[in-house]
Structure 1
């Protein structure tokens, strides 16, 4: 079986016009990984890790303006902004495909030289009038198109202020075109252009002119953006060789190193790998991917960040704390079910294993580290796994809460050290392409499948399904909440927030000053999950923390995912509040 990787020559990654109107380059290792995953799950009729980006837009229509007229103008501004965004970030219209003749994955972009081509592109701007909110529509099994598509959802909310015009934007795209952080930057740029189109009217709408010059804005792959040497240094090559020689199947259980310090001591029994339990009596094919979320209000988040600063090692973040809560939650769930499983050997522990998805835009050179190149796959995986070993049982009672709290804090420190170790690895940026290539090799997709000559069965449910976490961070550093629309009498503070001195959110002065503004709410990103694992996403916006879980309904129920979120909330709240760490006892 031959498994193909991304091209090895750096020159292969440069965009070239191979014939009039068609630009092309080799896909890089990260893009190849996500494209190969699509092939792996192709038999399900669904797209693994298809990106969903969501954002809600609200216009607070001034009293002297027509809501109907503003709504029509708003929709037209969104349409023009989508077209303008195509010019500034043309990679949003690119596609990745397998070239059987060259034996490589290629990324292609076609220009739009005439009105007919422009009209065809605007078919990727689709208005949804089902009355659902964007979140509900995103959970209703929406299409996963091969070309990035913007869905403008027009929700019907009876209790909404009739002077507010609302649109929910949903970006759906293959993951080999754009990643999570890039999606947030892209949506922010799109909203900014929408406000500009609304303010400037005909002047803005006369642009751009698609004459092929937009191809100069095509984003390079990560290798070029981060200036990764085309030929690895001896030191980098040694680490890549070690990675390939020691890697095993993605689902292979981990085993501890033998005790070499004391040859008379019995080696510790291997930890038992734990994952998220799933419905083993369900179908073997994935169903639709769904998302469920839970949020923390501003005062809770503020208390948590303060507690972390005063009780944890410097550099500990909210992400580290919730990642530790994931490990304990899985231990808790598996401890309840252990009575039906084989008994553990004396002294045997359980192990949570995961990988770290890391945003690599800070590793890129200017201008590739800016939102101008948001339509890209600029993130990485670490060269080693995060492995957290834990006692197999919960603290027996609240009287053992000290043990539970010490255990939680130990896991937080272990996870923090893992994150920091990757961050401080100065060679990691150059290792990233090789790590992606190794992951692609482990997928084991044969060349005949890549060529489309054969089909392969959809992967069976994993025996130990993982729970990953992707942190979007402080999203208000990426997405601007307020935008001026140019209505007369509309003023804006220097911070961009329409709030006068001494005015509180929700007060009469606040409500008055936000008139004529475009307000952004609920920005989030997820990736469709076709396996039986869970994908956890963490982000803060407008002072609120949101934790969401993406799951496949073939393997998990909404009620189970709700319980999982409640358990994360319990561990973090109890740790912060000084309570017991046994959810079975404290929650009944």
Structure 2
């Protein structure tokens, strides 16, 4: 857990050119989770950020522009040069930044963290082929194999530990990168390179500092936290909790995978219009469908029974941060939270004799009525969380509640056994065009997405819209799920949502 002394969160020079600070609760959560699975050789929730682009220019011109832009980001966002280390002397995790004062050290960093990948795979295929997670945030450039006269086409992938950056921050970083790449390409040798030496002043603080959170909860907020903990515990008593079926047998995680389904512009427009008419957000609509799909996957028995779907929401907390931390100037940060209280929805699993298990194409009035009933619960949950004025102050405690203890001697623990009762989460990254401009000078961007490395038995869904088309994607681990299973789950979510809303 992070320190309770505010001064410990201040970046401090511990030796010439080396700056350190304590990690806070959200950073510690991801560091501890990664440590827990270290024995697998993989990194839980490691970030993958992806974007395709095309631009007129030679390979040399475009690659030089990207290198200049990446170096500029190291100056503007020095936290991309940071990492989390365990301090043996202090017995805790610290965030560390080492300066690159000389042209030689800057070039070494560039050579290490901007890599051109020699592969016959597409960028999408490469992301599903167990790509590395280097010590520092690293860009991988996968050039198109299809020759295009005078046009450079490629995919750019960011791989990074999740205790350095989150999903929204990754998208912000891409936008900043191509803003500078466009200028560098246009100006060529005239593009000014940054003069390093004062970049440490722009190192991003943890969420506690960025949002101005008090070091300890007030008595009132502590009482609220105790009630939330009791409520969450009570939700799981005396009722069957829904569980995602998975392939049993493997005990260690395999490769993280991502699949996606993108709706047409017309389908997306109809869906957005239907949601607006009902007072629902797209996230409400899909979280509703997700709960129903999981219910439909539960094993049927001789009699109908009640099951409970339990979930939470993920929240971008940048709007709650003070200037300049609420802006893309501090993209390389973890400024997000999870809801404290759980979302709980009771659903009926029909008896085995009533209809087929697969009810995807059920257009009945009862089916739609059930959807709207669940959607009302989901909507109220999201609005209650959004309108909770105390939520931001409780965020560090919420993260601490779910954090595994970090090994005191920094040893690698045994890999946890697979979770026998996995669930499915959903994260909305919103309208991506509002975060990433599709056009930056000569660069045309396409298909941006982010995901976190899934090493568990569950699924992580991501929802986003780009250029008027909605994409629903799933992250899963191939030790326990197949590509077809994940795609079928996404398809069920789409069909149920579209049918229920009449879109």
Same fold (TM over 0.5): yes
Q: Which residue of 2 aligns with 1:174?
A: 161
Is the counterpart of residue 551 in structure 1 residue 476 in structure 2?
yes
Is the counterpart of residue 192 in structure 1 residue 179 in structure 2?
yes
Q: Deviations over 1:310-357 (max 9, x none)?
A: 2x2x3x1011111111111111111xx335xxx56x6x3111111111
**Does the C-alpha gap of structure 1 residues 137 and 116 become closer, same or farther in structure 2, counting only changes over 3 Å?**
same
Q: Deviations over 1:514-538 (max 9, x none)?
A: xxx3101000000010000000001
Is the counterpart of residue 83 in structure 1 residue 71 in structure 2?
yes
1:24–1:107 contact (8 Å) kept in structure 2: yes
Aligned equivalent of 1:276, options 244, 254, 257? 244
Is the counterpart of residue 384 in structure 1 residue 341 in structure 2?
yes
Aligned equivalent of 1:306, options 255, 270, 273? 273
1:129–1:155 contact (8 Å) kept in structure 2: no
Q: Which residue of 1 aligns with 2:47?
A: 51
| Aligned-residue offset at 1:230 | 2.1
* Partner Cα distance (2:255, 2:309) in 1: 26
Aligned equivalent of 2:419, options 451, 457, 462? 462
User: How large is the Cα RMSD of the aligned pairs?
Assistant: 1.9
Q: SS at the partner of 1:458?
A: coil
Q: Which residue of 2 aligns with 1:541?
A: 466
* Partner Cα distance (2:232, 2:501) in 1: 38
2:231–2:341 contact (8 Å) kept in structure 1: no
1:51–1:528 contact (8 Å) kept in structure 2: yes
| Aligned-residue offset at 1:541 | 0.5
Q: Which residue of 2 aligns with 1:506?
A: none
Q: SS at the partner of 1:201?
A: helix
**Does the C-alpha gap of structure 1 residues 247 and 6 become closer, same or farther in structure 2, counting only changes over 3 Å?**
farther
| Aligned-residue offset at 1:462 | 1.1
| Aligned-residue offset at 1:48 | 0.2
| Aligned-residue offset at 1:87 | 0.4
Is the counterpart of residue 327 in structure 1 residue 284 in structure 2?
no
Larger Rg: 1
Is the counterpart of residue 428 in structure 1 residue 391 in structure 2?
yes
**Does the C-alpha gap of structure 1 residues 287 and 400 become closer, same or farther in structure 2, counting only changes over 3 Å?**
closer
1:131–1:154 contact (8 Å) kept in structure 2: no
**Does the C-alpha gap of structure 1 residues 152 and 332 become closer, same or farther in structure 2, counting only changes over 3 Å?**
same
* Partner Cα distance (1:97, 1:318) in 2: 39
Aligned residues: 496
| Aligned-residue offset at 1:376 | 0.2
Q: Which residue of 2 aligns with 1:154?
A: 143
* Partner Cα distance (2:157, 2:398) in 1: 31
1:271–1:389 contact (8 Å) kept in structure 2: no
Q: Deviations over 1:255-286 (max 9, x none)?
A: 2xxxxxxxxxxxxxx331112100013x1000
* Partner Cα distance (2:497, 2:228) in 1: 35
| Aligned-residue offset at 1:445 | 4.5
| Aligned-residue offset at 1:573 | 2.0
Q: Which residue of 2 aligns with 1:419?
A: 382
Is the counterpart of residue 317 in structure 1 residue 317 in structure 2?
no
| Aligned-residue offset at 1:102 | 1.2
| Aligned-residue offset at 1:73 | 0.6
Q: Deviations over 1:32-55 (max 9, x none)?
A: 000000111011000000000001
2:116–2:141 contact (8 Å) kept in structure 1: yes
* Partner Cα distance (1:142, 1:399) in 2: 40
Q: Which residues of structure 2 form unaligned runs of 5+?
A: none
Is the counterpart of residue 407 in structure 1 residue 370 in structure 2?
yes
Is the counterpart of residue 474 in structure 1 residue 431 in structure 2?
yes
Q: Which residue of 2 aligns with 1:447?
A: 408
| Aligned-residue offset at 1:478 | 0.3
1:527–1:550 contact (8 Å) kept in structure 2: yes
1:297–1:545 contact (8 Å) kept in structure 2: yes
Is the counterpart of residue 164 in structure 1 residue 147 in structure 2?
no
1:253–1:273 contact (8 Å) kept in structure 2: no
Q: Which residue of 2 aligns with 1:126?
A: 115
2:363–2:499 contact (8 Å) kept in structure 1: no
Aligned equivalent of 1:20, options 16, 19, 24? 16
1:7–1:104 contact (8 Å) kept in structure 2: no
* Partner Cα distance (1:230, 1:152) in 2: 42
1:293–1:548 contact (8 Å) kept in structure 2: yes
| Aligned-residue offset at 1:24 | 0.7
| Aligned-residue offset at 1:297 | 1.0
Q: Deviations over 1:440-493 (max 9, x none)?
A: 1xx345423xx22xx322111112101000100000000001122xxxxxxxxx
* Partner Cα distance (2:393, 2:333) in 1: 17
* Partner Cα distance (2:478, 2:365) in 1: 38
* Partner Cα distance (2:405, 2:230) in 1: 16
